């Protein structure tokens, strides 16, 4: 152990730790869970500290040697070289001050080493140099936004786009397969399997658009507000210059918040983005639950489609194969929906000039983005791309449906059509056979009115 110090005094920290006393205090104060900030958030903190050091060097707030050392240390943080030094629990001080301090201490100590000093000698000071012009209250919300935008743009949007495309390909492949529609889980008028899959593709595509609509608000950064939104102790040119550097480094259109009091007191942009993720999650749940029903069987269920067989489905029932990828996706969706509930409640708990639920909100938002990205890719690769249709089974079921009588209703009236449907069901016969008995329509007229493929195109049949 070595002795480090902060504003509260001296404290022992491990000899090889890059962090200092304030981080160690938080380690001892918050032994709550196994949850830690992930790679994307640590990268965002490193990027912000690097660009801040570059601007502060140019402003003469830090010496050129200090600025270069901070930049080099922050680059290492961005690259993941010091992830093991970010040791704090997600459940900590609600502003994320402990994690900002963790970053400041790691970068300061590493920068001191780069300058030829030893750990703890403060050739670079965590507050006076690394955190110059900043507060945890504008750093942490900015890092949340930077990390979320990068994760959405790099991971989630491509994954959703590819999933939508895969579903569209299946919609085209299945376009000619007529099947029974279903509403309330009961037989309904015919559709094509392609039409059904086109609905799935559109759901994901529209979900992608909803996520994209959250980006402009996330691209506003709170940096420049310092402690309470007034910008105290931050030079007017500091935040705009840092944010311009972040935008250039990432290629994303980050900009300073329109109103720093909103940006720090509220987390509405995060809540809105999480709501878009929840919408995608429930869409994916709906789609894969349909796939489970449509593939149920293989002999005693609907069995209109076949999902790829990936693994044994039972430790006791030989030959059983389960829809494991849809089941995984449903669990991911449930988790994302739970994350959104916590984020929503977290957003509601901004008090006066600061929200104090930010670490949890950051973790949940980034976890949801990561889960949906991975689940979308796995669903596409391990399930959607390999789906096959059983055309004979689809034809068999739609022909047995009594609801195809619907297209006769304009010709013979609702009540007469209902009588035919009830008789067909009671006698376990087809609608065509019963309609021939109970109406004066010719065989040609019945064939025209009960053209199942034509029913999928809408309008008045026959």
Domain with residue 336: its CATH number is 1.20.200.10
pLDDT of residue 310: 97
Contact (CB, 8 A) for 4 and 20: yes
Average confidence (pLDDT) over 191-198: 98
Q: Using one digit for the tens of pLDDT, what is the confidence trace for 345-376?
A: 999 999 999 999 999 999 999 999 999 999 99
Asked whether residue 460 is domain-assigned, the answer is no
pTM, two decimals, is 0.97
Q: Which pLDDT score, from 0 to 100, does residue 386 have?
A: 98
Q: Phi and psi (nearest 5°) for 450?
A: -105, 30
Maximum Cα–Cα distance for the chain, whole Å?
101
Indicate the pairing of strand 354-355 with strand 186-192.
unpaired
Say which CATH number the domain at 55 has: 1.10.275.10
Same-domain check for residues 323 and 225: yes
In angstroms, the CA 293 to CA 309 distance is: 16
Average pLDDT over the chain, rounded to an integer = 97
Q: Indicate which residue of 142, 184, 226, 315 is catalytic.
A: 184
Residue 28 has what pLDDT? 97
Based on the residue annotation, tell me whether 135 is a catalytic residue of this protein.
no
388-389 and 305-306 as β-strands: parallel, antiparallel, unpaired? antiparallel
**160 and 307 belong to one structural domain:** yes
Distance CA 154, CA 379 (A): 18
DSSP code of residue 367:
H
Q: Which domain holds residue 66?
A: 2-132
410 and 327, same structural domain? no
How much is the average pLDDT of 89-107?
98
Structural element, H or E, at residue 230 = none
Sequence-distant (6+) residues with CB within 8 A of 191 are 178, 179, 180, 181, 456
> Catalytic residue at 260?
no
Answer yes or no: do 320 and 365 share one domain: yes
For the cut 90, the answer to whether the pLDDT of residue 1 exceeds it is yes
The answer to whether residue 362 sits within a structural domain is yes
Catalytic residue among 314, 315, 373, 376: 314
Specify which residues 110 forms β-bridges with. none
pLDDT at residue 311 tops 90:
yes
CA 145 to chain centre: 14
Domain stops at, among 113, 132, 151: 132
CATH of residue 409: 1.10.40.30
Q: Is there a single domain that holds both residue 429 and residue 324?
A: no
Residue with tokens 């994916």: 284
**Are 238 and 376 in a shared domain?**
yes
Residues 295 and 311 in one domain: yes
Co-location of 371 and 420 in the same domain: no
Same domain, 254 and 378: yes
Give pLDDT tens digits for 63-82. 999 999 999 999 999 999 99
pLDDT on residue 340: 98
Residue 49 sits in the same domain as residue 103:
yes
Domain assignment present for residue 100? The answer is yes
Mean pLDDT in residue range 437-454: 95
Q: How many domains does the chain have?
A: 3
Q: What does each C-alpha distance from 405 to 178, 184, 447, 453 come to in angstroms?
A: 16, 18, 12, 14
Residue ending a domain, choose from 391, 415, 445: 391
- The pLDDT of residue 245 is 98
Residues 442-454 have a mean pLDDT of: 95
What is d(CA 3, CA 370) in angstroms, rounded to the nearest whole number? 39
Claim to verify: residue 377 and residue 440 sit in the same structural domain = no
Cα 111 to Cα 62: distance, rounded to the nearest angstrom: 12
Domain-terminating residue out of 117, 132, 147: 132
Burial (CB count <10 Å: 0-12, 13-18, 19+), residue 41 = buried
The Cα 226–Cα 229 span in angstroms is 6
Calculate mean pLDDT across residues 158-186: 98
Q: Is the pLDDT of residue 462 over 90?
A: no
């Amino acid at each position: 152990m070595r002795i480090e110090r902060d504003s509260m005094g001296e404290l022992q920290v491990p000899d090889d730790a890059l962090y200092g006393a304030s981080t160690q205090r938080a380690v001892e104060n918050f032994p709550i869970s196994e949850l830690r900030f992930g790679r994307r958030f640590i990268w965002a903190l490193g990027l912000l500290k690097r660009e801040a050091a570059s601007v502060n060097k140019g402003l003469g707030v830090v010496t050129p040697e200090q600025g270069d050392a901070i930049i080099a240390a922050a680059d290492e943080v961005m690259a993941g070289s010091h992830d093991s030094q970010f040791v704090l629990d997600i459940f900590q001080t609600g502003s994320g001050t402990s994690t900002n301090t963790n970053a400041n201490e790691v970068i300061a100590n590493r920068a001191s080493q780069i300058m030829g000093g030893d750990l703890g000698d403060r050739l670079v000071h965590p507050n006076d140099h690394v955190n110059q012009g900043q507060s945890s209250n504008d750093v942490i919300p900015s890092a949340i936004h930077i990390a979320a935008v990068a994760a959405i743009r790099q991971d989630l949007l491509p994954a959703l786009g590819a999933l939508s495309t895969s579903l569209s390909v299946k919609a085209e492949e299945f376009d000619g397969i007529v099947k029974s529609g279903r509403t309330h889980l009961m037989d309904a008028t015919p559709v094509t399997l392609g039409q059904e899959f086109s609905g799935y593709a559109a759901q994901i595509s529209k979900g992608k658009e909803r996520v994209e609509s959250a980006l402009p608000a996330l691209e506003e950064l709170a940096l420049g507000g310092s402690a309470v939104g007034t910008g105290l102790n931050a030079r007017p040119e500091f935040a705009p210059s840092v944010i311009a550097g972040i935008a250039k480094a990432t290629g994303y259109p980050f900009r300073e918040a329109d109103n720093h009091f909103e940006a720090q007191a509220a987390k509405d942009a995060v809540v809105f983005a999480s709501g878009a993720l929840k919408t995608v999650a429930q869409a994916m749940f709906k789609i894969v639950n349909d796939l489970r029903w449509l593939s149920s069987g293989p002999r005693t269920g609907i069995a209109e489609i076949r999902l790829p067989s990936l693994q044994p489905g039972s430790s006791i029932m030989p030959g059983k194969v389960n829809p494991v990828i849809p089941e995984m996706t449903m669990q991911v969706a449930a988790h994302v929906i739970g994350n959104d509930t916590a984020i929503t409640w977290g957003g509601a708990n901004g008090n006066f000039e600061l929200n104090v639920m930010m670490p949890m909100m950051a973790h949940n938002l980034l976890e949801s983005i990561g889960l949906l990205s991975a689940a979308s890719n796995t669903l596409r690769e391990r399930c959607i791309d390999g789906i096959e249709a059983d055309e004979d089974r689809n034809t068999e079921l739609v022909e047995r449906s009594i609801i195809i009588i619907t297209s006769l209703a304009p010709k013979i009236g609702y009540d007469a059509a209902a009588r035919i449907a009830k008789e067909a069901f009671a006698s376990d016969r087809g609608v065509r056979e019963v309609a021939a008995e109970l109406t004066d329509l010719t065989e040609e007229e019945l064939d025209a009115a009960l053209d199942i493929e034509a029913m999928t195109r809408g309008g008045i049949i026959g």
